[in-house]
């Protein structure tokens, strides 16, 4: 008899974690987060300014807390941070059993520094230190954007033993810079006598945004060759990123750190809801199933996975095809590095706009 297992059990056996792409006080207080964790359908959760803005402006869950903070705290940014820190602490506590049972490999909650600091190294480091100290949980990840300045700040945070989720990655070159910063930070931490085994980091690729931009350019080109490449770049980038992950974290530089207890920096697939309704609703889930990865699912994608997901180990399939896809895009004038740079700048701007709206909501 063939054993019947849920998609979530299948993913756990392969070694991929499923994290949620939202966080709200209602979700914590109402027990939904605890239920999903207990059911094995989620082992982590991420946040960003847009998520918190939606949570704070929907319903009355934050009304009393906000009223009290308006009397006690004059700075809207600090009001937001205090509410966010409280939610992240509560979520960390719900996920602590996962963190404990996996010896610190899983069970994390992410909290983002202000996107206004995306190009400010010292400001990012200062904010990361403050938020890390205020949450005061072993299973918190401070989110830092993967801009060139963010990479420098990220390296410093790792050197200080602060666990980090590097966000807004869209290209292989951006990922390479982040992997190098992670290894450099770990080397500095080890040299200073720090415990590298206590540091966790993930590198977050935003999948659907890649295809949304590239598909638009392919439509402008209008050729048959261009049409045949629609909806293919993001998964191709993800597969090649995983190949490089294996090379770097299976190589001698990390090997020396691993001997001291260091953890590899897992790849995390973000923005995994398909924006084009013509595409499979699990386009950014099933082809990217592999060990030592995380997939962060919006609510609708989580439901789709639960309903009809059939995950199996696929991330190593089609590597030559992925390389061919990027080569063909290059020949059409679409440079993956230029795409990544544009998307990162646009992503920072989108988070800045959401952050401005968030601060307006708590003013």
Catalytic residues: 143
- Rounded to an integer, what distance in angstroms lies between the CA atom of residue 131 and that of residue 200? 16
Q: Nearest 5°: phi and psi at 119? A: -115, 25
**DSSP sequence for 162-212:** --EEEEEE-SHHHHHHHHHHHHHHHHHHHHTT--GGG--EEEEEEHHHHHH
> Quick count: other Cβ atoms within 10 Å of Cβ 261?
12
**DSSP sequence for 198-259:** G--EEEEEEHHHHHHHHHHHHHHH--HHHHHTTT-HHHHHHHHHHHHHHHHHTSHHHHHHHT
91: CB partners within 8 A, 6+ apart: 23, 28, 33, 45, 109
Residue 45, token pair as written in the block? 């959760």
Q: Is the separation of the CB atoms in 289 and 314 below 8 Å?
A: yes
Report the run of H or E that residue 19 belongs to, with start and end: strand 16-20
């Amino acid at each position: 008899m063939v054993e019947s297992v849920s998609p979530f059990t299948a993913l756990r056996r392969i070694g991929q974690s499923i994290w949620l792409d939202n966080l709200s006080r209602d979700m914590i207080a109402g027990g939904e987060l605890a239920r999903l964790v207990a059911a094995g359908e989620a082992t982590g959760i991420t946040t960003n300014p847009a998520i918190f803005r939606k949570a704070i402006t929907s319903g009355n869950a934050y009304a009393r807390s906000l009223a009290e903070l308006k009397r006690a705290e004059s700075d809207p940014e600090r009001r937001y941070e205090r509410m966010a820190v409280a939610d992240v602490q509560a979520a960390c506590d719900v996920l602590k059993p996962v963190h404990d049972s996996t010896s610190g490999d899983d069970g994390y909650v992410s909290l983002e520094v202000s996107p206004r600091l995306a190009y400010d190294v010292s400001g990012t480091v200062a904010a990361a230190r403050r938020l890390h100290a205020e949450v005061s949980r072993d299973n918190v990840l401070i989110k830092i954007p993967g801009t060139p300045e963010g990479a420098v700040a990220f390296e410093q945070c790792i050197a200080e033993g602060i666990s980090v989720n590097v966000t807004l990655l869209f290209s292989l070159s951006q990922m390479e810079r982040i992997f190098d910063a992670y290894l450099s930070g770990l080397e500095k931490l080890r040299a200073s006598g720090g415990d590298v085994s206590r540091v966790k980091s993930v590198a977050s690729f935003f999948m659907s945004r890649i295809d949304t931009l590239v598909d638009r350019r392919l439509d402008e080109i209008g050729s048959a060759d261009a049409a045949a490449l629609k909806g293919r770049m993001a998964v191709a980038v993800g597969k090649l990123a995983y190949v490089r992950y294996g090379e770097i974290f299976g190589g001698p530089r990390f090997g020396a750190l691993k001997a001291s207890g260091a953890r590899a920096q897992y790849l995390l697939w973000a923005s995994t809801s398909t924006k084009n309704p013509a595409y499979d609703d699990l386009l950014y889930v099933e082809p990217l199933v592999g060990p030592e990865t995380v997939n962060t699912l919006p609510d609708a994608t989580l439901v789709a996975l639960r309903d009809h997901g059939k995950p199996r180990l696929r991330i190593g399939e089609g590597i030559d095809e992925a390389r061919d896809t990027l080569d063909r895009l290059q020949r059409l004038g679409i440079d993956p590095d230029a795409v990544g740079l544009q998307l990162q700048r646009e992503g920072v701007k989108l988070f800045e706009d959401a952050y401005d709206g968030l601060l307006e909501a708590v003013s």
